[in-house]
Amino acid sequence: MSPVVSIPIYQTIYRLGTLYSGYRLTIALSLILIFLITLENQTSYYEYPSLYFYALITFALFGIGQMLALKFYPHAISPQFIAIFLVDVAFLSTLTFALGGPNLSISLLFVITVFAANFLLTKNKALLITLASVISIVYQQFFGSFFDYSNLNNIGNSALLAFLFFVVYGIGQVAIRRFQVLESLNTLQSLELFKLQNINRYILEQIEVGYLVVDENFKIIVSNPAACALLGISPLYAHEQYHLATFQPDLFKSIQSATLRDGERFQFESQQSTYSVDIRVQKLIVPQQALTLLVLEDAQKLNQKVQQLKLAALGQLSASIAHEIRNPLAAIVQANELTIGSDTDQKELLNHMISKQAQRIDRIIQDTLDMAKNKKTLATQIALKPFIDDLIQHDLSDVKSKIQFNFAENFNIYFDASQLRQVFINLVRNALRHNAINAAFIQIHIFKTEHNINIDVIDFGNGISKQDLSQLFQPFFSTETSGTGLGLYLSHSICEANQAKLIYVEQKQQGACFRIECPLIV
């Protein structure tokens, strides 16, 4: 492993080298202290006491010098590390010779030196230090044998120790390769994470919608320039946390005492900002942390977009209304022409046809007016059981016996009460019209899921054909010749305005199911 590959690796190796230098100096001073304490037993333990002592003193001085060199010349760590390990080999070889042969304590110090060389030097340089250790251990025994033939007994121990050095070198190289793989993976993951953070930051900076994430203590975790501009505060940096009360006290006061519900919307104005801000609340599911996302939009621009969408829809709606009214008008004109010269029975039949087509035109106009009223949605908490009981009593009393209820408990939802009443009437009447002739009732099934309260209105008729599913909630689409096709479209629009969804659920058996999905009250 190269000692200088990148700045993080260089710093890691430098710290390891500094720690190893401290370890060397500690070993030298400890051995000196032990030598002085055991001075009386020098003759029995040390073969060459003077050589042993002066080697320790020299090594300690070298250790101090090399620590200072690492501190003041950190850019030249590669040659310094080589010098450190060569000094270590020479020093430990001298101690081995002074003790009269391989010693367990000195052998362990040799093993640590060889292993450390694998981490602080390249593979070839670490092998060089290993070979130097082997040579110094083995050949110093031959050198000692010229002076004392008893040293020949230690050659076997030296050979075993040399073999151990090679084993340690191999283990060190395996450990280094594992370390390099892990380091490469960590570096790649860090780079990918950094790229992803940059992309996210760029996206947040470019979009016009403001995003503000606060924790349970109202500290700002994430913000983008659009949010800061809408709130009239200076841009905040993502890597620092700021308290909302410091930068936007008006917003802090507004949401501090309120219970923010998922999906809730409210208007916000402040003296700090020139904007009227539309804020939508979204709860974020984050492990071990409760975060709230505030989606901020300029209310004026939002209203402009709504008006543009209304104008675009108005053209399509006008064409649809003209088409729908033209057919009954043509029938009325034709029937009126046929009344001339007709007998009494024919005139009565034609008058009935004119009356029926006129009623159809009236229904189209009335449904269109209901759709165009666009009343402001005032969502309140509604207890479904008493609400449905009241609805049946006053609005659906004529079909009460044809409705079967199925819900275990009284669920609460947020919805505009008058609009929910209109949606229920539309769905129930629609289900009764399409119910099978032999079916005694339709079902209203209310149940709770992880995130929603679901209200199912189920009939047992023929259901919706697959080719009609794509047009199901389009205005003026109806499978009945007498239908206007505005009931489901209006109900779908009302549910969206109340942060709910109206969807069609295919049944496994006969029938159709329209489901209202309302967000669960947190």
Q: How far is residue 131's CA from residue 90's CA, in Å, rounded to a whole number? A: 12
Domain 302-373 of CATH type 1.10.287.130: yes
Look at 125-134, 160-169, 223-232, 407-416 and tell me which has the smallest mean pLDDT.
160-169
pLDDT at residue 458 greater than cutoff 80: yes
Average pLDDT over residues 284-298: 83
Two tokens at 455?
């209200």
Please state the pTM of the whole predicted model: 0.39
Average pLDDT over residues 447-466: 85
List, in order, residues 6 or more apart from 389 with CB less than 8 Å away.
none
Reduced to 3 states (helix: H, G, I; strand: E, B; else coil), residue 199 is helix
What are 221-237's pLDDT values in tens digits? 888 888 888 888 877 65
How big, in percent rounded to 5, are the helix, strand and coil portions of the chain? 65, 15, 20
CA 394, 395, 397, 401 torsion-angle sign: negative
CATH number for the segment(s) 207-298: 3.30.450.20
pLDDT at residue 113 greater than cutoff 70: yes
Average pLDDT over residues 298-324: 69
Average pLDDT over residues 20-38: 83
Of 7 and 440, the one with more pLDDT: 440
CATH number for the segment(s) 380-519: 3.30.565.10
Q: Where are the alpha helices (DSSP H) in 207-248?
A: 225-231, 244-247
Query: What is the torsion angle, in degrees rounded to the nearest 10, for the CA atoms of residue 449, residue 454, residue 458 and residue 462?
Result: -80
Which range of 44-48, 69-73, 507-511 scores highest in mean pLDDT? It is: 69-73
What does the angle CA 160 – CA 165 – CA 170 come to, to the nearest 5 degrees?
Answer: 125
pLDDT for 156: 53
pLDDT at residue 83 greater than cutoff 70: yes
Average pLDDT over residues 261-272: 83
Average pLDDT over residues 143-166: 54
Two tokens at 381?
């908490």
pLDDT for 218: 86
**Residue 311 — pLDDT band, cuts 50, 70, 90?**
low
pLDDT for 312: 65
Q: How far is residue 395's CA from residue 431's CA, in Å, rounded to a whole number? A: 15
pLDDT for 288: 75
Please report, for the chain, the start and end positions of each structural domain, with discontinuous segments joined by +.
7-189, 207-298, 302-373, 380-519
List, in order, residues 6 or more apart from 364 with CB less than 8 Å away.
321, 324, 325, 484, 486
Angle between helices 384-394 and 417-434 (to 10 degrees): 60
Q: How far is residue 34's CA from residue 131's CA, in Å, rounded to a whole number? A: 30
Average pLDDT over residues 273-298: 84
Two tokens at 51?
């050589």
pLDDT at residue 5 greater than cutoff 50: no
When the pLDDT of each residue in the chain is averaged and rounded to a whole number, the result is: 77
Residue reference for tokens 């916000």: 268
Nearest to 444 by CA among 457, 428, 431, 425: 457
Q: How far is residue 294's CA from residue 251's CA, in Å, rounded to a whole number? A: 11
pLDDT at residue 467 greater than cutoff 60: yes
Q: How far is residue 144's CA from residue 152's CA, in Å, rounded to a whole number? A: 8
Two tokens at 101?
């042969």
pLDDT at residue 355 greater than cutoff 70: yes
Average pLDDT over residues 31-56: 77
pLDDT for 3: 40
Which stretch of DSSP H or E encloses residue 190? helix 155-206
Average pLDDT over residues 128-150: 62
